[in-house]
Amino acid sequence: MIGEICEEYRFEVIELEIVEDHIHVMVSFPPSRSIGEVVRIIKSNSARILFREFPGLKKRLWTGEMWEDGYFARTVGDRMTRDVIERYIASHRELEQGPAQLDLKLR
């Protein structure tokens, strides 16, 4: 779903990993967009889709919201290269996280 949202807005998902309570995503996007705007687009659209698809989900969430307000963003630069970020995200696939996905059978 995140990939589809990014494709619609012409963002490129380079790396994506979903863990139990958060996601890591490396996205390339045009300089006409800010990081905050890209995060807002991904969060708001994904929440809207999930709440439409699974109406009971909102009631099961602590605050009734899909995502926390905050986020962490890091840009690629001299010391923090694309390769370093890709390896960091990929490394989460190798960790034992327990059940990594919500049970979305809430209908």
- Tell me the per-residue pLDDT of 15-60, one tens digit each, with 9 for 90 and over: 888 877 788 898 999 999 999 999 999 999 999 999 999 988 888 8
Task: Indicate the burial class of 89 (C-beta count within 10 angstroms; 0-12, 13-18, 19 or more).
Answer: middle
Of the candidates 41, 71, 88, 102, the residue annotated as catalytic is: 88
- Predicted local distance difference test score (pLDDT) of residue 84: 79
* Average pLDDT of the residues in 86-105: 58
Domain count, the chain: 1
To the query of whether residue 88 is one of the catalytic residues in this protein, the response is yes
Report if residue 105 sits inside a domain.
Answer: no
On whether residue 21 sits in a domain, the answer given is yes
pTM of the model: 0.72
Is 45 inside any structural domain? Answer: yes
23-30's contacts with Cβ under 8 Å and 24+ in sequence apart are 24/88, 24/89, 24/92, 25/89, 26/82, 26/85, 26/86, 26/89
Give domain status of residue 103, yes or no: no
The band of 88, judged by pLDDT with boundaries at 50, 70 and 90, is confident
CATH number at residue 62: 3.30.70.1290
